[in-house]
């Protein structure tokens, strides 16, 4: 199988490529990535001699057409992915998440290629803390931020291209990922690397917001289950029953790094901050037989802390510029 992976130099995409090289020797991988601030070729260094890397933009229709023509399956991870950035400057989110997805869909339509679309649980908006329901594939779309609204727009394009043009596509909406190679702008790596630097972790608002954590390896094994067995036109929600509030996550990071559990600062809240995400992944589990391998968040988080401690050379070049942006935001 020839596989085109967009965004393969980012967090989840690079882990996906590592996984594929390790477990799928029959797959030939080409990565298309623009290497924005969030992409890093160093994330692919361990597998560099086993893949083809193309630096380019998913909105470049000629380039995309050539690469799609030469593949069997497209897995589309590339995106502007950080909510805080989308609140400062939404335009790159519209460009990459909406126009980029449109460009890929037109190419897979022309060349009749299988397409898997990586999306997020944030398209469904948020839940109250005491809401008994979780997100399901039937939950109405209700995105809150420029990031999540552009991801929702991209999902709707995919659904329309399936129905109107018969494109052979599937969609997955996953909850919050953690693990190696995640950019230090994101919550968990930001706090781990702050602790390494002797800086107190930063908790937005009161820290009661809940995220449904899943290890990136479990996300990617679910993506493979959908590529292998997913029904065309279907949406699968990916989650590992990992709900935890931000305050508890920070306290666990402090405990795992040998710090007092209260050694963090409360900072101003994110505007429009979603309260809670929670995934019901029963369709994926019953229909495709998928189950997460990482059963405990504590063990997965401890391994992630150890990874950032051992791989400072990977994250150090991004750290100062990232924190300088947060200083401007007052967070
Ligand atoms: P990331 O920001 O770490 O990586 C994004 C990658 O896309 C980078 O390598 C970047 O260089 C590349 N890219 C950005 N714009 C591009 C463009 N115009 N052309 C080509 N490449 C471009 O993101 P991530 O956290 O790995 O997320 C990957 C996907 O998974 C996204 O679609 C995101 O919406 C989705 N997702 C993420 C999470 C999460 O918790 N991180 C959860 C659910 C879904
Ligand atoms: O739910 C899936 C989504 O998860 C993905 O679609 C996004 O691409 C991904 O970035 C993530 O979005 P969040 O906004 O939930 O992730 P983030 O890491 O930015 O923040 C997680 C929570 O932690 C959120 O409630 C905000 C809070 N936070 C974040 C930072 C950076 C803090 O309290 N302090 C911080 O310093």
Q: Could you read off the pLDDT of 301-311 as tens digits, one per residue?
A: 999 999 999 99
- Ligand 1 atom with the smallest distance to the CA of 178 is 40
Catalytic residue list contains 121? yes
Mean of the pLDDT values across residues 115-121? Answer: 99
Does 34 reside within a domain? Answer: yes
Minimum CA distance residue for ligand 2 atom 20:
187
Round to whole Å and give the CA distance between 163 and 75.
19
Does 322 reside within a domain? Answer: no
Does 272 reside within a domain? Answer: no
**Domain membership of residue 45 as a residue range:** 2-178+212-238
Kindly indicate the confidence band of residue 227, based on its pLDDT and cuts at 50, 70 and 90: very high
| Per-residue pLDDT reduced to its tens digit, 248-258 | 999 999 999 99
Does 325 reside within a domain? Answer: no
| Per-residue pLDDT reduced to its tens digit, 260-313 | 999 999 999 999 999 999 999 999 999 999 999 987 999 999 999 999 999 999
Q: Which of 11, 13, 63, 17 is nearest to 38 (CA)?
A: 11
Q: What is the pTM of this model?
A: 0.99
CATH number at residue 157: 3.40.50.720
Question: What pLDDT does 110 receive?
Answer: 98
DSSP secondary structure of 22-67: HH-TT-EEEEEE---TT--GGGGGGGGGGSEEEE--TT-HHHHHHH
The ligand 2 site (C-beta within 6 Å) comprises 81-83, 120-122, 175-176, 186-187, 190, 202-204, 209, 211, 246, 270, 277
Does 137 reside within a domain? Answer: yes
- Ligand 2 atom with the smallest distance to the CA of 177 is 4
% of the chain at pLDDT higher than 90 = 99
Minimum CA distance residue for ligand 1 atom 15:
79
Pair 58, 78: CB distance under 8 Å = yes
Catalytic residue list contains 88? no
| 124, containing H or E segment | none
Q: Which of 22, 32, 41 is nearest to 103 (CA)?
A: 32
Catalytic residue list contains 60? no
- Among 219-223, 260-264, 293-297, 326-330, which is the least confidently predicted range? 293-297
Question: What pLDDT does 295 receive?
Answer: 75
DSSP secondary structure of 216-265: HHHHHHHHHHHHHHPPTT-EEEE--S-EEEHHHHHHHHHHHTT--TT--E
DSSP secondary structure of 65-100: HHHHHT-SEEEE------HHHHHH--HHHIIIIIII
| Per-residue pLDDT reduced to its tens digit, 50-80 | 999 999 999 999 999 999 999 999 999 999 9
Does 58 reside within a domain? Answer: yes
Does 57 reside within a domain? Answer: yes
| Catalytic residue (one of 147, 181, 264, 308) | 147
Does 318 reside within a domain? Answer: no
Mean of the pLDDT values across residues 163-170? Answer: 98
Round to whole Å and give the CA distance between 116 and 187.
27
Domain count, the chain: 1
Round to whole Å and give the CA distance between 97 and 250.
30
CB atoms closer than 10 angstroms to residue 296: 10
- Ligand 1 atom with the smallest distance to the CA of 176 is 40
The answer to whether the Cα torsion of 190, 196, 199, 202 is positive or negative is positive
- The C-alpha R_g of the chain, in whole angstroms, comes to 19
Asked whether 5 lines ligand 1 (CB < 6 A), one says: no
Round to whole Å and give the CA distance between 115 and 159.
12
Ligand nearest to the CA of 201: 2
Hey, which residues does 236 pair with through a beta bridge? 172
Question: What pLDDT does 257 receive?
Answer: 98
């Amino acid at each position: 199988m020839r596989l085109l992976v967009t965004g393969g130099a980012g967090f989840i995409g690079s882990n996906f490529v590592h996984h594929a090289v390790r477990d799928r020797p029959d797959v030939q991988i080409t990565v298309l990535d623009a290497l924005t601030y969030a992409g890093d070729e160093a994330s692919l260094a361990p597998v560099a001699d086993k893949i083809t890397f193309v630096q380019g933009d998913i909105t470049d229709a000629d380039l995309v057409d050539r690469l799609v023509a030469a593949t069997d399956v497209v897995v589309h991870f590339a995106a502007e992915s950080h909510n805080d950035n989308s609140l400062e400057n939404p335009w790159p989110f519209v460009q990459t998440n909406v126009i980029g997805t449109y460009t890929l869909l037109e190419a897979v339509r022309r060349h009749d290629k299988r397409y898997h679309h990586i999306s997020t649980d944030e398209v469904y908006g948020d839940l109250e803390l005491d809401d008994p329901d979780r997100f399901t594939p039937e939950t109405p779309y209700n995105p809150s931020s420029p990031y999540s609204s552009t991801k929702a727009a991209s999902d709707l394009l995919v659904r329309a291209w399936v129905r109107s043009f018969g494109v052979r596509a599937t969609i997955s909406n996953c909850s919050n990922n953690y693990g190696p190679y995640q950019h230090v702008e994101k919550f968990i790596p930001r706090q781990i690397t702050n602790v390494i630097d002797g800086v107190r972790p930063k908790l937005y608002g009161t820290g009661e917001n809940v995220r449904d954590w899943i290890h990136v390896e479990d996300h990617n094994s679910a993506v493979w289950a959908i590529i292998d067995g997913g029904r065309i036109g279907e949406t699968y929600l990916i989650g590992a029953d990992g709900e935890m509030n931000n305050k508890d996550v920070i306290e666990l990071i402090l405990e795992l790094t040998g710090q007092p559990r209260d050694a963090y600062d409360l900072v101003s809240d994110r505007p429009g901050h979603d309260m809670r995400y929670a995934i019901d992944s029963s369709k994926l589990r019953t229909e495709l037989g998928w189950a997460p391998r990482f059963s405990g968040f504590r063990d997965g988080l401890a391994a992630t802390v150890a990874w950032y401690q051992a791989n400072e050379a990977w994250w150090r070049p991004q750290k100062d510029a990232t924190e300088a942006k947060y200083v401007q935001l007052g967070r």
